[in-house]
Structure 1
Amino acid sequence: MKLRNILALCCAVILSLISCSKDKEEPAKDTLVGSEWTWSRVSSNQNIRENATLKFTSEKEGVILAASYNHEDGRVFEGKHRLDFTYELKGSSITLNATEFDKDENKTVVGAIKGTLDRAKGTLDLPSTEDGKDVTMIFHRK
C-alpha cells in the first residue's frame, strides 16, 4: 500500500512539472525591430555637421535618414538623404544591402556594408571609405 502511494505521489509530481513547463512563456526573441540608432560628426574645419538615424523597421528591412549642414560664408546649405536597406544578422556580424536612387545619374545604386553589432555597448560599427580613406561610422542605440 505504501509503495502504491509513493508511485502515485511521484506521478503527480512529474505531471505537475510537465504542466508547469508548458505554462512558461518562451523568452522574448532578441530583435532589432523598432530600434533606432544615431550617428553624428562635425568636420575638422567646423563648417560641416552631419547626422544620421538608422531605424530597423522589420526583421529584414530598415532605413537610414541622414542630414548634412554646411555653413559657408554666412550661408547654410542643407542636404537630406534617405537610404533604404535590407539586412542580415548573424551573431554580432551584420550585412546591410542598401538601395538608393541617384538623381544625378538617374539610376538605382545598390551597395553592401558589413558591420559589427555590439549589443552590450549599444553600438553598431559600419565601415566605409570617404575620399580614399577608411572611416567607421559608429551608431549608438537610442
Structure 2
Amino acid sequence: MKNKLLLSASLLLISTPNFAQQPKVPKADAQAIFKAADFKRTKYGWEGNCDTGEIIIYKDLNGDGRKDAVIQDNSSMCYGRTGVGYYIVSQQKNGKWKQLFSNPGIPTFLKTKGKDGWPDIENGGSGFCFAVFRWDGQEYKVQRYEYEGKACSLR
C-alpha cells in the first residue's frame, strides 16, 4: 500500500507542468525572445535581472497565427516566497519580438479573453486569492480576483 501511494504521488508530480518537457524553440527565435525581455547572454545561459531564464511556453497564445513565448525566471531574492517570475513576449506582424508583460508569480492562462484574443492570466503564488490580468490592447491590467475560478477579495 505504501509503495502504491509513493508511486501515485511520483506519477502525479511527473505529470505536472513543472516537469513537462521544455518546448523546442529555434535558436534564432530563442535569442530574439530573450533579447526582447531584456535578458543578456552569459556563460550560464540567458540572465535577466534575477537569474537565468528559460522559455516554458512557445506557441500562439492569442490565435493571431504568430508565436508567443513565456520566459520563467526563478529567484526568492527577487520574487519572495513564490520564487518565480515570468515574461510574456509576442512576435509582431513585422517578425520582431516584443515584451508585453512581466510579473512575479506563476501564470495560468484562462479561457476568458481580453482584447485581440489574449487570454486572461491568473497570477498564482502563495495565498488563496489571485489577481487576474486582462489585456486591454495596450497592456495587461488587473481585472478581477479569483480563487479556484470563484471571485474573492483581498480584504
Task: Output the TM-score relative to the length of structure 1.
Answer: 0.31
Q: Which has the higher contact order (CA 8 A, sep 6+)?
A: 1
More helix by share: 2
| Bigger Rg over Cα | 1
